[in-house]
């Protein structure tokens, strides 16, 4: 007969050990293999619910929370969670949500004429199986325009996390009262998105290029550098970002029919996506 557990610490330690036996593997496109995660706990669920109350522009609290849950729940010692990309994050989120909460997600849909409103059910297991091997491994791209040579690459979840912490971490609540404030917030969100995809910068000096210690710069300092880019350079960066967005759309954009009418809606992966209804 097994010994009786007498303390909370004993219970928690044993629960943590046993939970690893029920871990599930989810596909990470950048690694071309499954990464194993334990189930989302009740405490983590509470943190996800709290993240729902956040800025509609930045969604920072959800980014922090999911990043931390990934680190806490990954049990593959050879995988550095910080190196997973934002595409890895989306694919893993689909699988993790289906395994821990359930495969069905309802989205509310209103027809174009506004006369019909209904719920459409998405089966996450079917979606996960359909798209997990269709995500392309977009390579890094070097862009040379004017005095700058830059390297673009798909952001890791560490880059996304660090940017949010630095630029939004001190902002607990963003209240937009005027059109000017809205423009400023949207402008900040746009330039932050551009900076996320830049992972190396060199500046022309004579006939050669001098490499910038990009990783040593704060995100505020990186934004100051990006602000000096010409429009041709910015256009090329946006082209690269749009290639990544095409892969994101494969995951998030849902096409379906209802009563003979075709619909296209986006599946939003945020705190609400992980809450039990």
Q: Are 244 and 154 in contact (CB under 8 A)?
A: yes
Domain boundaries along the sequence of the chain: 8-132
Nearest to 222 by CA among 242, 244, 194: 194
**Contact between 63 and 163 (Cβ < 8 Å):** no
pLDDT of residue 1: 44
| pLDDT value at residue 136 | 85
DSSP 85: B
Q: What's the Cα-to-Cα distance from 98 to each of 17, 31, 142, 181, rounded to whole Å?
A: 22, 21, 38, 38
DSSP 3-state of 109: strand
User: Directed axis angle between helix 42-50 and helix 60-73, to 10°?
Assistant: 160
Question: Do the Cβ atoms of 64 and 136 come closer than 8 Å?
Answer: no
Smallest CA-to-CA distance from 128 within 159, 157, 105, 156 is with 105
pLDDT at 206 over 60: yes
- Hey, which residues does 37 pair with through a beta bridge? 24, 74
Does residue 22 surpass a pLDDT of 90? no
Residue 210 CA to residue 3 CA, distance in Å, equals 66
- Per-residue pLDDT, averaged over 2-6, amounts to 65
pLDDT in the model for residue 174: 52
Q: Which residues contact 256 (CB under 8 A, 6 or more apart)?
A: 120, 262, 263, 265
Angle (CA) 188 191 192, round 5°: 80
Strand 104-110 and strand 253-258: pairing? unpaired
Kindly report, residue by residue over 249-260, the tens digit of the pLDDT: 999 999 998 888
Q: Return the higher-pLDDT residue of 20 and 206.
A: 206
Structure tokens at 81: 């969670």
pLDDT at position 252, please? 95
| Predicted pLDDT of residue 59 | 84
Cα angle 206-209-214, degrees, rounded to a multiple of 5: 135
pLDDT of residue 190: 80
Quote the percentage of the chain above a pLDDT of 90. 64
**pTM listed for this prediction:** 0.86
Taken as a whole, the chain contains a residue count of: 277
- Calculate the average pLDDT of the chain: 87
Helix H or strand E segment including 95:
helix 86-100
Q: Quick one: pLDDT at residue 151?
A: 97
* pLDDT tens digit sequence for 33-88: 999 999 999 999 999 998 887 655 568 899 999 999 999 999 999 999 999 999 99
């Amino acid at each position: 007969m097994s010994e009786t557990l007498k303390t909370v610490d004993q219970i928690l330690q044993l629960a943590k050990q046993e939970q690893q036996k029920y871990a599930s593997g989810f596909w990470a496109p950048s690694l071309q293999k499954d990464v194993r995660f334990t189930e989302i706990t009740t405490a983590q669920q509470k943190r996800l619910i709290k993240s729902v109350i956040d800025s509609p522009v930045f969604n920072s609290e959800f980014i922090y929370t999911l990043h931390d849950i990934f680190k806490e729940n990954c049990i593959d010692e050879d995988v550095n969670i910080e190196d997973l990309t934002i595409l890895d994050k989306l694919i893993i989120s689909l699988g993790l949500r289906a395994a821990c909460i359930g495969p069905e997600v309802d989205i509310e849909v209103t027809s174009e004429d506004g006369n019909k409103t209904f719920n459409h059910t998405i089966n996450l297991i079917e979606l996960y199986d359909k798209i997990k091997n269709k995500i392309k491994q977009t390579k890094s791209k070097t862009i040379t325009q004017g005095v700058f040579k830059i390297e673009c690459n798909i952001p890791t979840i560490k880059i996304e996390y660090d940017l949010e912490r630095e630029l939004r971490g001190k902002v607990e609540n963003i209240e937009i009262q005027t059109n000017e404030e809205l423009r400023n917030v949207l402008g900040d969100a746009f330039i932050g998105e551009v900076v996320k995809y830049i992972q190396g910068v060199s500046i022309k000096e004579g006939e050669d290029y001098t490499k910038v210690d990009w990783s040593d710069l704060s995100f505020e300092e990186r934004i100051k550098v990006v602000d000096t880019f010409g429009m041709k350079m910015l256009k090329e960066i946006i082209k690269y970002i749009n290639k990544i967005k095409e892969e994101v759309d494969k995951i998030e954009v849902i096409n379906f029919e209802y009563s003979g009418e075709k619909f296209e809606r986006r599946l939003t992966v945020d705190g609400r996506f992980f809450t039990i209804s």
